[in-house]
Amino acid sequence: MLVTLPPDYRPSDDEAFMNPLQLEYFRQKLLKWRQDLLREAGETLSSLSEGGIAEPDLTDRASVETDRALELRTRDRARKLISKIDQAIDRIETGTYGYCEESGEPIGLRRLEARPIATMSIEAQERHERMERVHRDD
């Protein structure tokens, strides 16, 4: 189904949760986020492939190597984030987007605006994090 969003559309609690307009809004938001991450990754690859480290000073060379390592860690995080974005887009396609994977309850528009890849409601996420802390301390 093809849905066209009005230019100033923002999801609201006054409309049905995860109606076609809201789904399209979040799909476009996720696709734009994914596109931005891929563009940044391409820029990183081009800057890293510009050649080896030609700094004669050991301190300068160490600084460049540290910057590159940090950039690669950032790109790895972005790669994992792209995977989560793809999963969220799949949830939109299957009709499960916006609902907590633990309780099945709506996640909430404000949470999805802040974190469109969220898979749990705030309450379920807090329970999950408490359980992780309890078991991590063992």
Q: For position 71, what pLDDT does the model report?
A: 82
Alpha helices in 49-100 (DSSP H): 58-94
Would you tell me how many other CB atoms lie within 10 Å of the CB of residue 25?
21
Name the band, by pLDDT with cuts 50, 70 and 90, for residue 69.
confident
* Average pLDDT score over residue span 59-77: 82
Q: Let me know: does 44 contact 71? Beta carbons within 8 Å.
A: yes
pLDDT of residue 50: 63
Kindly report, residue by residue over 17-50, the tens digit of the pLDDT: 999 999 999 999 999 999 999 998 877 766 666 6
**pLDDT for position 47:** 67
The H-or-E segment that residue 44 falls in is: helix 20-48
Residue 135 reports pLDDT greater than 90: no
pTM: 0.80
